[in-house]
Amino acid sequence: MSKITKEWKHVNEDGSYTVRTCGWSPPGDHPVGCGMKLHVKGGKLVKVEGDPDHPISQGRLCIRCLTLPEFVHHPQRITTPMKRAPENRGKDIWQKISWDEAWDIIVPKIKEFKKKYGAESIVVFGGTGRQACLYYYPLGFASIGTPNVCYPWSGWSCYGPRCSITDYILGAGYPEIDFAGTYPDRYDNPNYVVPKWIMQWGKNPLMSNPDGFFGHSLIDLLKRGTELIQIDPRMTWLGTRSKYVCQLRPGTDTALALAFINVIINEELYDKDFVENWCYGFDELKERAQEYSPEKVADITWVPAQKIREVARFMATEKPGAIQWGLAVDENPNGVQLGHAILSLCAITGNLDVPGGITMGPPAALLGKWRMETRRNLSPELWDKRIGAKEWPALSTAMATTHPDETLDTLETGKPYKLRMGWFNSSNFITPTCSAQPDRWYRALKSLEFNVVQDLFMTPTAMAFADVFLPLPTFAEADGVVVTHFGRNAVFLGAINEALRVGDTKSDIEVCIELGKKLHPDMWQFDSVDDFFTKQLKPELGIDFNDLREQFIYQPKYEYRKFETGKLRSDGEPGFNTVTGMVELTSTLFEAWGEDALPYFQEPPYSPVSTPELFKEYPFVLTTGARKFTSFHSEHRQISTLREIDPYNEMEIHPDAAAKLGIIDGDWVMMENMFGKCKAKAKLTPIIHPQVVHSTHGWWYPEKPGEEPSLFGVWESNINTLIPHKHIGKLGFGCPAKQMICKVYRIEEGV
């Protein structure tokens, strides 16, 4: 364990002070936890600067944290609770209230719905891995007492599939490339080996810094000689620095992965020792891979057969190496099979749990116990009422939520029961974020009788639905703990320290505790937020919250080759924590759930191959949502420094394709398909294939009228109106957000 003992708050003679902290959210971010210093003067956050002593981020920050002062002190921020009469939903008619008044409205409503219709009539909506993600499950399960916690993105298409596949196939938490994250001395640690290659499969971490992986580590490793390989339809910045780039047709990834496996097995390049001792079902995988020759797969994917062979040979012969898999694995109805094939590639090349390969955590999550325990507040009967639990056992075994698509169906049909109350904790999902066909969600959500929204600004979702609005502090304004990868295979745990507080806000954990004490006090026996964290930290790590503040970062020790020493399994036996004790190249679980036990390729639901007639009318493959530095989903649209860089929704199109349509750079265009349409500004760029267009997501325009029907222009650049609901895989996962089809035409007027 590393100890960095430096004061966490330094007060200057003039009364100004600096607080050392780790970042998370709000404003949005995954648990990356970059280290920074917050400078406060005259009650204002005046400057944010990177902390060079943080072992992971080492002083580097991206533009979202650098502009945090603009966010914290934004004139449009809402910093007092508000209420609105039900008939005024959609109208900007609010009344400021105190927290006590807010609780006096909310608590009796919850009690009434529970008594009249059962706790399951209440649904808590939450979005991606923000700080809220640690707390919206407890908010639902233990503060309110409902089993219905919903992440509404179709097919749970973010991390859910990847984490579940890893559980099914490896019996472990999210596997990440070994970037020496658990070592205080990082790459200089004698146990560490610099990988020969790293493959980014549908992931662009320089922009996305996802879930505890800081993108700059790739630059560190490039400088140390690591070769990069990109599997991406767009030529990214990293792509231009890579040894190989496979610019594939969006959504054909599983075929490509199986072709790599085909070459590695047929050319006898696989790690025979690892396969013999630690893999289950190799012969079956070998047989399946015969269906995916490089020539056949070249036709499917647009990646030349010779390149497929070269990449496969390079991966198998250079060791160690690692695959980083991204959102393109989740946002794919064939993504479970893709994830299975990617993990199989890591296994048969002998790169699991070795220095410079793929890291795997022990079975228990750091700080994970209490989150699981909050479920004890729910009876088994109530737990069984979770929406979609029966219909989608694979998903609902792995994810403690409702099935997202079933939840929309339930809202629309009132079956199996009617949902009455919504608590919107961290999703602004009628913007093009956590919903496919948000127009359907918008209509369906109108049936809810009472809604609470927690947020920092008035969003389209809050304007449309909130009866009570509860304001949140930013991460600069409240205490917290950041734990990368939510504790499973975490590289560190860090303190988030309150530096100031603007207005009368409450953080997610403050709300959980206060509401919990009113409704289920037995579950919330904590005197304060400090006490809460101390009670979680002490039994596991032997430190209290103040110790964590002082030592700043806790890095768990990492051991390699744990499959040999019994540290991957809960029973302490050697092997992997799966049914067979091995890496399941052939899954023992999938068949029981009605799925093929081996990976296979399936065409996207709409594509030049599966719907050739439609493709004549909608002749572009549409991929969406590749991340940018300037926003986190629907957030940051009010921050003028960031809007100056990215003022509008953007569509990338190849210059040759644009020329045929008479489109020039900066023109306003419409993307349209059989489900919806969306405006964007055209960006002409050779980085994209002439038959593919890419649209950013998360757009709304805070400067536009907020009241209905405009809702801050939410329907103008709403790319998710083109993404269909419930086009999911057999286990309930995946959606076609990165592989739809559309047509494109120039329009005169923008937004």
Ligand X SMILES: Nc1nc2c(c(=O)[nH]1)N[C@H]1C(S)=C(S)[C@@H](COP(=O)(O)OP(=O)(O)OC[C@H]3O[C@@H](n4cnc5c(=O)[nH]c(N)nc54)[C@H](O)[C@@H]3O)O[C@H]1N2
Site for Mo ion, rule CB under 5 A? 128, 158
- From residue 627, alpha-carbon distances to 145, 473, 633, 694 in Å are 35, 25, 8, 11
Segment contacting ligand SF4 by CB under 6 A, of 28-36, 243-251, 536-544, 710-718: 28-36
Say if CB 288 and CB 600 are below 8 A apart: yes
Say if CB 347 and CB 278 are below 8 A apart: yes
Closest approach of Mo ion to the CB of residue 151, in Å: 9
Closest approach of ligand X to the CB of residue 15, in Å: 29
175 binds ligand X (CB under 6 A): no
Cα–Cα distance between 213 and 26 in angstroms, integer?
18
324 binds ligand X (CB under 6 A): no
Q: In the numeric block, which tokens belong to residue 494?
A: 């860090």
User: What crossing angle do the helices spanning 294-301 and 253-266 adopt, rounded to 10°?
Assistant: 160
Segment contacting ligand X by CB under 6 A, of 94-102, 407-415, 632-640, 701-709: 632-640
* Cβ neighbours for 77, distance < 8 A, ≥ 6 positions apart: 71, 456, 457, 471, 502, 503
Segment contacting ligand SF4 by CB under 6 A, of 27-35, 241-249, 316-324, 523-531: 27-35
Write each residue from 251 to 290 as x if it is in contact with ligand X (CB under 6 A), else as -, in one continuous string: x-x-------------------------------------
Closest approach of ligand SF4 to the CB of residue 205, in Å: 10
Cβ closest to ligand X, residue 112 vs residue 439: 439
Could you tell me which residues are beta bridge partners of residue 495?
Answer: 481
CA atoms in the 13 A half-sphere facing the CB of 206: 12
Closest approach of ligand SF4 to the CB of residue 23, in Å: 3
Q: Does a cis peptide bond (omega within 30 degrees of 0) precede residue 363?
A: no
Return the closest-CA partner of residue 173 out of 366, 337, 341.
366
Segment contacting ligand SF4 by CB under 6 A, of 29-37, 122-130, 216-224, 281-289: 29-37
Cβ closest to ligand SF4, residue 27 vs residue 432: 27
38 binds ligand SF4 (CB under 6 A): no
What is the four-CA torsion angle of 471, 474, 479, 484, rounded to 10 degrees?
120
Write each residue from 183 to 212 as x if it is in contact with ligand X (CB under 6 A), else as -, in one continuous string: ------------------xxxxx-xxxx--
The CB density around residue 686, as the number of other CB atoms within 10 Å, is 11
336 binds ligand SF4 (CB under 6 A): no
Query: Largest Cα–Cα distance of the chain, in whole Å?
Result: 73
Cα–Cα distance between 461 and 455 in angstroms, integer?
10
Cβ closest to Mo ion, residue 251 vs residue 326: 326
Return the closest-CA partner of residue 45 out of 25, 11, 16.
16
680 binds ligand X (CB under 6 A): no
DSSP string, 338-401: HHHHHHHHHHHTT-BTSTTSEE---SSPTT-HHHHHGGGGS-HHHHHTSTTTTT-HHHHHH-SS
Which of 39, 60, 130, 488 is in the footprint of ligand X by CB under 6 A?
Answer: 130
568 binds ligand X (CB under 6 A): no
Which of 81, 161, 233, 335 is in the footprint of ligand X by CB under 6 A?
Answer: 233
Segment contacting ligand X by CB under 6 A, of 115-123, 250-258, 342-350, 527-535: 250-258
Cβ closest to ligand SF4, residue 128 vs residue 337: 128
Which of 61, 444, 523, 731 is in the footprint of ligand SF4 by CB under 6 A?
Answer: 61
Which of 19, 45, 56, 62 is in the footprint of ligand SF4 by CB under 6 A?
Answer: 62
Closest approach of ligand SF4 to the CB of residue 475, in Å: 8
DSSP string, 395-452: HHHH-SS--HHHHHHHHHH--SS---EEEE-S--TTSSSS-SSHHHHHHHHTT-SEEE
65 binds ligand SF4 (CB under 6 A): yes
**Among ligand X, ligand SF4, Mo ion, none, what binds residue 432 when CB lies within 5 to 8 Å by partner kind?**
ligand X
Q: For residue 143, what is the DSSP state? A: I
- From residue 264, alpha-carbon distances to 191, 228, 290, 321 in Å are 28, 19, 11, 14
CA atoms in the 13 A half-sphere facing the CB of 69: 13
697 binds ligand X (CB under 6 A): yes
Element (DSSP H or E) covering residue 90:
none
**Among Mo ion, ligand SF4, ligand X, none, what binds residue 202 when CB lies within 5 to 8 Å by partner kind?**
ligand X
Cβ closest to ligand SF4, residue 64 vs residue 569: 64
* Cβ neighbours for 410, distance < 8 A, ≥ 6 positions apart: 387, 416, 417, 419
209 binds ligand SF4 (CB under 6 A): yes
23 binds ligand SF4 (CB under 6 A): yes
Which of 153, 244, 278, 615 is in the footprint of ligand X by CB under 6 A?
Answer: 153
Segment contacting ligand SF4 by CB under 6 A, of 26-34, 97-105, 250-258, 509-517: 26-34
Phi, then psi, of 38 in degrees rounded to 5: -105, 120
Footprint on residues 348-407 left by ligand X (CB under 6 A): none
Which of 396, 634, 649, 718 is in the footprint of ligand X by CB under 6 A?
Answer: 634
Which of 18, 57, 128, 410 is in the footprint of ligand X by CB under 6 A?
Answer: 128
First to last CA, the chain: 53
Helix, strand, coil % in the chain, rounded to nearest 5? 35, 15, 50
Which of 26, 29, 210, 301 is in the footprint of ligand SF4 by CB under 6 A?
Answer: 29
Task: Tell me which residues touch ligand X (CB under 6 A).
Answer: 25-28, 30, 127-128, 130-132, 153, 158, 201-205, 207-210, 231-234, 236, 250-251, 253, 326-328, 331, 425-429, 431-434, 454-456, 459, 472, 508, 623-629, 631-635, 697-698, 719-720, 723, 737-739
Task: Tell me which residues touch ligand SF4 (CB under 6 A).
Answer: 23, 29, 32, 34, 61-62, 64-65, 209
